[in-house]
Structure 1
Amino acid sequence: MSIAMDKTLMVMSLEEEDVPFDLPDLPELSSIERNYLSLIGRILNPDCQLMPILIVEMPRKWQKVGKCRGVALSKEKFQFLFDNEFDLLDVMDKGVHTFNEWTLVIERWVENPPEDYLQYIPLWVQIRQLPVNYYTAESVDALGDLIGKVDTVAFDPTKVQVQNYVRVKVFFDVSRPLRKQKVVNLPKGGTATILFSYERIQKRCYECQRLNHEREVCPFMLRKRQLEAAERKASGSFMNIVKPLVLKPNDPLFGVLKEEQVGINPITGRQRIAPDVVEGMRQYLLVANIDERRVREERVKKSVAQAEADPIAKKSMLSLEPIPKITNILDKQKGIVFNYEDVCSESSPAVMDYGVQTPKLMASAISAGSMQTGSIMVEPRKSVSALARLGEVPNLYQFSSTVKRDCPFVASSSGTIIGKAGISRRRPTKTK
Structure 2
Amino acid sequence: MSLEEDDDVPFVMSDLPEFSSSERNKRSLIGRLLNPDVQEMADFIFQMPRKWQKQGRVRGIALSHERFQFIFDNEHDLLEVLEKGVHTYKEWAIVVEKWEEVPPPDSLQYLPIWVQIRNIPINYQTEKAIEALGNIVGKVIVGAFDPTKARSNVYERVKVRFDVSRPLRKEKVIDLPNGEKTKVFFNYERIQKRCYTCQRLTHDQDVYPINIRRRQLEAETRRSGGCVVKKIAIPVISESDPLYGVLKENQVGINPNT
What range describes the TM-score normalised by the shorter chain of this pair?
Answer: 0.7 to 0.9
Instruction: Verify: 1:140 aligned to 2:126, yes or no.
Output: no
TM-aligned CA distance change 1:132 to 1:43, over 3 Å: same
Question: 2: CA distance between counterparts of 1:13 and 1:53?
Answer: 42
Q: Report the structure, 1 or 2, having the larger helix content.
A: 1
Residue 170 of structure 1 aligns with an amino acid whose one-letter code is V
Give the drift of 1:346: 5.9
Give CA-to-partner distance per residue, 1:174-219, whole Å, 9 cap, x none.
1000000111111110111110000000000001100000101113
State the distance in 2 between where 1:122 and 1:224 align: 34
Match for residue 157 of structure 1 among 142, 147, 154: 147
How many angstroms apart in 1 are the aligned matches of 2:4 and 2:149? 77
Q: State the match for 2:195 in structure 1.
A: 205
1:80 counterpart (37, 56, 70): 70
Name the structure 1 match of 2:30. Answer: 40
1:13 is displaced (CA, Å) by 9.2
Amino acid at match of 1:188: N
Distance in 2 (CA, whole Å) between partners of 1:156 and 1:16 is 67
Aligned to 1:112: 102
1:121 alignment counterpart: 111
Deviation at 1:156, TM superposition (A): 1.1
Deviation, structure 1 residue 135: 1.3
Residue identity matched to 1:106:
V
Deviation track 1:352-401 (CA, whole Å, cap 9, x = no partner) reads xx99xxxxxxxxxxxxxxxxxxxxxxxxxxxxxxxxxxxxxxxxxxxxxx
Return the alpha-carbon distance in structure 2 between the equivalents of residues 50 and 224 of structure 1. Answer: 28
Q: Which runs of 4+ in 1 moved over 4 A?
A: 12-17, 220-226
Overall identity of the aligned pairs, in %: 59
Is the 8 Å Cα contact of residues 105 and 119 (structure 1) preserved in structure 2? yes
- What amino acid maps onto 2:109 in structure 1? Q
Partner amino acid, structure 2, of 1:83? D
Q: Which has the higher strand share?
A: 2
One-letter amino acid of the structure 2 residue matched with residue 74 of structure 1: S
Report the Cα distance in structure 2 between the residues aligned to 1:17 and 1:108, rounded to whole angstroms.
Answer: 36
1:216 aligned to which of 198, 202, 206: 206
- Distance (whole Å) between structure 1 residues aligned to residue 209 and residue 54 of structure 2: 37
> Comparing both chains, which one has the higher relative contact order based on Cα–Cα distances under 8 Å and sequence gaps of 6 or more?
2
- CA drift at 1:220: 4.8
Asked if structure 2 preserves the Cα contact closer than 8 Å seen for 1:208 and 1:220, the reply is no
Equivalences for residues 9-408 of structure 1 within 5 A? 18-221=8-211
CA positional deviation for 1:132: 1.4
The one-letter code matched in structure 1 to 2:80 is D
Measured in 2, the distance between the counterparts of 1:33 and 1:13 equals: 37
Change (3 A) 1:71 1:130: same
TM-score by length of structure 2 reads 0.80
Quote the Cα distance in structure 2 between the aligned partners of 1:13 and 1:24. 23
Q: Structure 2 vs 1, CA of residues 22 and 192 (structure 1 numbering), >3 Å: closer, same or farther?
A: same
Aligned position for 1:271: none
Hey, what's the Cα distance between the residues in 1 that align with 2:150 and 2:160? 24
Amino acid at match of 2:157: R
Unpaired segments of 5 or more residues in structure 1?
1-11, 227-344, 348-353, 356-432
Query: Computing the radius of gyration over CA atoms, which structure comes out larger, 1 or 2?
Result: 1
- Contact kept? 2:206, 2:212, Cα under 8 Å: no
Three-state SS of the structure 2 residue aligned to 1:58 is helix
Consecutive unaligned residues of structure 2, counting only runs of 5 or more, are 217-249
Q: How far off is 1:162 after superposition?
A: 1.0
TM-score relative to the length of structure 1: 0.48
- Separation in structure 2 between the aligned mates of residue 178 and residue 185 of structure 1, nearest angstrom: 21
For 2:81, what is the secondary structure of its paired residue?
Answer: helix
Return the alpha-carbon distance in structure 2 between the equivalents of residues 139 and 193 of structure 1. Answer: 14
